[in-house]
Amino acid sequence: MRRSYLIPEFVVDIEHTNCRRCKRCVMNCSYEALSFENKVVPDNFKCVACHRCVVYCPEQVITVRKNPTDFKGSANWTDRHRLDIWKQAETGSILLTGMGNDLPYEIIFDHLVLDACQVTNPSIDPLREPMELRTYLGKKPDSLEFVETPDGKLKLKEKPPKNLKLEIPIVFAPMSYGAISLNSHKAMAMAAKEMGTVMHTGEGGLHEELYDYGQYTITQCASGRFGVHADYLKRGIAVDIKIGQGAKPGIGGHLPGEKVGLDISKTRMIPMGTDALSPAPHHDIYSIEDLRQLIFAIKEATGYKPVSVKIATVHNIAAIASGVVRAGADIVYLDGFRGGTGAAPRIVRDHVGIPLELALASVDDRLRQEGIRNHASLIAAGSIRSAADAIKAIALGADAVAIGTGALIAIGCRVCQTCHMGRCAWGIATQRPELTRRLDPEIAAERLINLLRAWSLEIKEVLGSLGLNAIESLRGSRERLRGIGLDSQTLDILAVKAAGK
Amino acid sequence: MNHNYQKDISGCGLTGLISKSGELVPGSVIIKSICPMRDRGNGLGAGFAAYGIYPDYKDYYALHIMFDHGTARELTEEFLESNYEVAKHERIPHQKTKYIVYHPMLYRYFVKPKSGRPDKEFADVEGDDFVVRTVMKVNSEIEGAYVFSSGKNMGAFKGVGFPDEIAEFYMIEDYKGYIWTAHNRFPTNTPGWWGGAHPFTLLDWSIVHNGEISSYGINKRYLEMFGYRCTLLTDTEVIAYIFDLMIRRHGMPFKTACKAVAAPFWKDIDDMPEDEKEALTSIRMVYGSALLNGPFSILFGHSNGLIGLSDRIKLRPLVVAEKDDRVYMASEESSIREICAKPAKVWYPRAGEPVIVNLDNKNI
């Protein structure tokens, strides 16, 4: 066998003198990086830094660190470039990866700061005053008409279109059953119900065990039509048509056959063991008119539930979003180029698309210029890492944000970027029964609920400091943001003033 | 116009009165009412609005315009003459006072839109809408020109100074109106300027405001979708435009419009009877961007009445009193007592609860 030129990315150190040889680390290592030969022996090449062994070692004698071996320094030929070339020289393959873009592009959210009230306008204490995060997603008419009732009460002349009611402006991002485990889905469904928000099935359908959570679910119709049937669509509170994904714009999905066991086969309605390929284009959508037909077909099928269209943020996103709204979408789901993925070619994940912040600002602007901002809500997604990101996205114009990777991290994900291997040691992004059972859905749900609750409290705290007591007063209010270290063109696109102005 | 515009923020004192029978009240009364609240201003802005002051021209829009220079006046008059039938135009009567020496040129024009107008952009726009477009156009496109009043049989008079100085400057006591509002301004973030004083008006709507609109950014962007341009650099401007949008253009009843800008909390909406719950839920869904957040108490005048409204957690004061056919509203009770020593009833309206007073006879 030819010698590989690669070197391990990580080094596993075990403090053998204090190790009691319980082998728990070996049992926990789904990547088979640890074995036992009188003592625990690491195979550094296989370690992905998932930290499962570190967390579950009762003696805490395991350390995983980045391989300290130095490369001859070069700002141009980075370690990453060299390792990639060696990998490809050995395999002749596309580099595959999981999770989101990790290149050091400027993160605009980190260059935006929020306003706060001082003397002229009192801040509001969220512990003493109501602070409202309730959000309705969907098409709104430009105006309402009322009829006078004899007792002088308000009554609507005509009901507005159905909207999706959220108690918090945070939803779970689409992650399919297949890409992630059933227990992960269960945890999100339970958390969504508890917090009055929604989880998003992704393109893999909805497992029957989760049908009771339908009212807290956005179902998805992707190009593969996996698991899409009338009952599925009707179970959900809204339907999403997946056109693009932030991590891989213009690229379809691929669930390898080995992940398609009995349950996934039934849920996706495909034979066991077959690859589930969902190409980027839908077989019936090659134009905006085609999209319109599908939107209205879904509306007819579901009794006019809100229909969302998920698009990846690309160069001409404002015009695309305008077309999507004019095609009848009630929600436009904008997935930024840092959005996560179960598996994608690294070149696409890292180099295709544009940052969410810029896309969001230009879409919100464009829809306003065209006078159609009320016709659809915007969900912003693609690496919302904290409540601060969520608040800034809302101030830039989002109605709500979606969290995918953030939710997975809450339930244990270490962002080791190897979801595509299907060996997730935490039972999150895997279908292997011995691994999926590691994730207790109730414990995971509790962690998700805690995360959403914590973020909600933080959002309320910031709203209070801004002197606002309703989230709708922050939505699109870019006046409350300032940029630090952003160039004037970026500030112009964001329609945000520089700090100090 | 873009995001680089700087808004102005203000605290303030306000007072107003309405004679429900339409009896004309001399300006001296409102001057007497606003002056005790001197500490609520800092000399950087004051103003008055009065309804019923131009009976001879009551069918004409009275455009009050301030010009920074002669070119602005020429350009504006050129536009007005070609698009409006001008029944009369003149300097707004004013006099030099001890404290107000420098001021913009102040003119008023009594106009009706012509039927055949050269302005093709708005050629098919009807009367009120055409006037609104004119106000937006002048304010945003003619540098140094600001329309600060555009209603019929009403007018706003405002500038930089304390209320007594502005009253003296405009000779407010010479006017008589059935509704009066007055304002004493305390701008804190930027120096006061003539266009930024209150009242803010559009058509017959006039607003005096104490507080700060924390939701200004989104209110402004929402209004821009409907063709409004916020150019007067003060957050109060959005209130006048929001009411114009809701009441005149969307046909919303006054009370409902108040429920949109100072919406009840969700916890209260959730407990309402089904019809009302549905209506208020829809209002918040549809008009969420028009919700006025932050502290405010406002007096909202229009040709048929006067409305007092404070924000939904009442971060600014508002007191109302009643005697005979008159209703008084002010930031402080002392202001009312000054002109109505023994009111029959005095009350402090609840947060977000509008006090709506209409004329007995709407044909005044």
Do the Cβ atoms of A477 and B253 come within 8 Å? no
Do the Cβ atoms of A479 and B315 come within 8 Å? no
Query: Would you place residue B187 in the very low, low, confident or very high pLDDT band (cuts 50, 70, 90)?
Result: confident
Q: What is the pLDDT of residue B3?
A: 44
CA torsion, ordered A475, A479, A481, A482, to nearest 10 deg: 160
* Residues near B296 by beta carbon (within 8 Å), at least 6 away in sequence: B209, B210, B211, B212, B213, B239, B309, B310, B311, B315, B316
Select from B304, B300, B287, B258 the least CA-distant residue to A154. Answer: B258
Dmax (CA) for chain A in angstroms is 90
Distance from CA of B230 to the nearest CA of A (A): 14
> Beta strand pairing status for A238-242 and A170-172?
unpaired
How many CB atoms sit inside 10 A of residue A453's CB? 14
Residue B113 buriedness (CB in 10 A; 0-12 / 13-18 / 19+): buried
Three-state DSSP state, A225: coil
What number of CA atoms fall less than 13 Å from residue A305's CA on the CB side? Answer: 24
Could you give the CA distance from residue A495 to residue B3 in angstroms, rounded to a whole number?
A: 6
Q: Are B355 and B320 within 8 A, CB to CB? A: yes
> Beta strand pairing status for B205-211 and B200-202?
antiparallel
A vs B: CB pairs below 8 A:
142
Could you give the CA distance from residue A331 to residue B80 in angstroms, rounded to a whole number?
A: 44
Which residues of chain A are within 8 Å of residue B295 when distances are taken between CB atoms?
Answer: 121-122, 467
Three-state DSSP state, B17: strand
As given in the structure block, the two tokens for residue A315 are: 């160069």
Q: Are A33 and A12 within 8 A, CB to CB? A: yes
Query: Concatenated DSSP letters for B27-64?
Result: HHHHHHHHGGGGGG--SS-EEEEEES--GGGTTSEEEE
Could you give the CA distance from residue B325 to residue A106 in angstroms, rounded to a whole number?
A: 65
Which residues are bridge partners to B14 per DSSP? B183
Q: What is the mean pLDDT of residues B330-340?
A: 96
Q: What is the pLDDT of residue A281?
A: 94
User: Which residue is listed with tokens 């135009």?
Assistant: B89
Which uninterrupted H or E stretch holds B5? none
* Residues near A2 by beta carbon (within 8 Å), at least 6 away in sequence: A90
Could you give the CA distance from residue A197 to residue A217 in angstroms, rounded to a whole number?
A: 9
Could you give the CA distance from residue A470 to residue A373 in angstroms, rounded to a whole number?
A: 19
Which uninterrupted H or E stretch holds B77? helix B70-83
Chain B interface, best mutation among A137, A154, A364, by max B CB count within 10 A: A154
User: Which residue is listed with tokens 């039972």?
Assistant: A427
pLDDT digits (tens, 9 = 90+) for B274-297: 999 999 999 999 999 999 999 999
Cα distances (Å, whole numbers) of residue B147 to A63, B78, B108, B331? 72, 15, 9, 27
Give the residue, B43 or A494, on which the prediction is more confident: A494
How many CB atoms sit inside 10 A of residue B225's CB? 18
* Residues near A492 by beta carbon (within 8 Å), at least 6 away in sequence: none
User: Which residue is listed with tokens 């992650």?
Assistant: A175
Distance from CA of A385 to the nearest CA of B (A): 25
Could you give the CA distance from residue B213 to residue B86 in angstroms, rounded to a whole number?
A: 36
Do the Cβ atoms of B218 and A477 come within 8 Å? yes
Q: What is the pLDDT of residue B125?
A: 77
Catalytic residue among B12, B35, B230, B340: B12
Do the Cβ atoms of A145 and B251 come within 8 Å? yes
Select from A427, A492, A471, A490 the least CA-distant residue to A130. Answer: A471
pLDDT digits (tens, 9 = 90+) for B95-124: 989 999 899 999 999 999 988 777 666 667
Distance from CA of A386 to the nearest CA of B (A): 23
Tell me the pLDDT of chain A (501 aa) as tens digits: 789 999 999 999 999 999 999 999 999 999 999 999 999 999 999 999 999 999 999 999 999 999 999 999 999 999 999 999 999 999 999 999 999 999 999 999 999 999 999 988 899 999 999 999 999 999 999 999 998 788 878 899 999 999 999 999 999 999 999 999 999 999 999 999 999 999 999 999 999 999 999 999 999 999 999 999 999 999 999 999 999 999 999 999 888 888 899 999 999 999 999 999 999 999 999 999 999 999 999 999 999 999 999 999 999 999 999 999 999 999 999 999 999 999 999 999 999 999 999 999 999 999 999 999 999 999 999 999 999 999 999 999 999 999 999 999 999 999 999 999 999 999 999 999 999 999 999 999 999 999 999 999 999 999 999 999 999 999 999 999 999 999 999 999 999 999 999
* Residues near B364 by beta carbon (within 8 Å), at least 6 away in sequence: B22, B52, B178, B303, B304
State yes or no: pLDDT of B151 exceeds 90.
yes
Identify the sign of the CA torsion B199, B201, B205, B210. negative
Three-state DSSP state, A308: strand
Could you give the CA distance from residue B243 to residue B252 in angstroms, rounded to a whole number?
A: 9
Q: Which of A124, A469, A477 sits opposite B217 (nearest CB)?
A: A477
Do the Cβ atoms of A478 and B217 come within 8 Å? yes
CA torsion, ordered A228, A233, A239, A244, to nearest 10 deg: 0
Which uninterrupted H or E stretch holds B20? none
Q: What is the 3-state secondary structure (H, E, C) of A28-87?
A: HCCCCCEEECCCEEECHHHCCCCCHHHHHCCCCCEEEEECCCCCCCCCCCCHHHHHHHHH
Q: Which of A146, A149, A467 sits opposite B294 (nearest CB)?
A: A467
What number of CA atoms fall less than 13 Å from residue A276's CA on the CB side? Answer: 30
As given in the structure block, the two tokens for residue A293 are: 């037909």
As given in the structure block, the two tokens for residue B142 are: 């003619």
B35 as an active site residue: the answer is no
If you measure CA to CA, which chain A residue comes closest to B259?
A154
Least confident of B123-127, B137-141, B162-166: B123-127
Dmax (CA) for chain B in angstroms is 61
Which residues are bridge partners to B152 per DSSP? B61
What interface predicted TM-score (ipTM) does this complex get? 0.92
Q: What is the pLDDT of residue B317?
A: 93
* Residues near A128 by beta carbon (within 8 Å), at least 6 away in sequence: none
pLDDT digits (tens, 9 = 90+) for B235-254: 889 999 999 999 999 999 99
Which residues of chain A are within 8 Å of residue B214 when distances are taken between CB atoms?
Answer: 117, 121, 466-468, 473
Do the Cβ atoms of A473 and B218 come within 8 Å? yes
User: Which residue is listed with tokens 């309730």?
Assistant: A134
Could you give the CA distance from residue A62 to residue A160 in angstroms, rounded to a whole number?
A: 59
Q: What is the pLDDT of residue B2?
A: 41
As given in the structure block, the two tokens for residue A383 are: 């690496």
Do the Cβ atoms of A120 and B9 come within 8 Å? yes
Three-state DSSP state, A231: helix
Query: Would you place residue B8 in the very low, low, confident or very high pLDDT band (cuts 50, 70, 90)?
Result: very low
Three-state DSSP state, A293: helix
If you measure CA to CA, which chain B residue comes closest to A475?
B218
Q: What is the pLDDT of residue B190?
A: 61
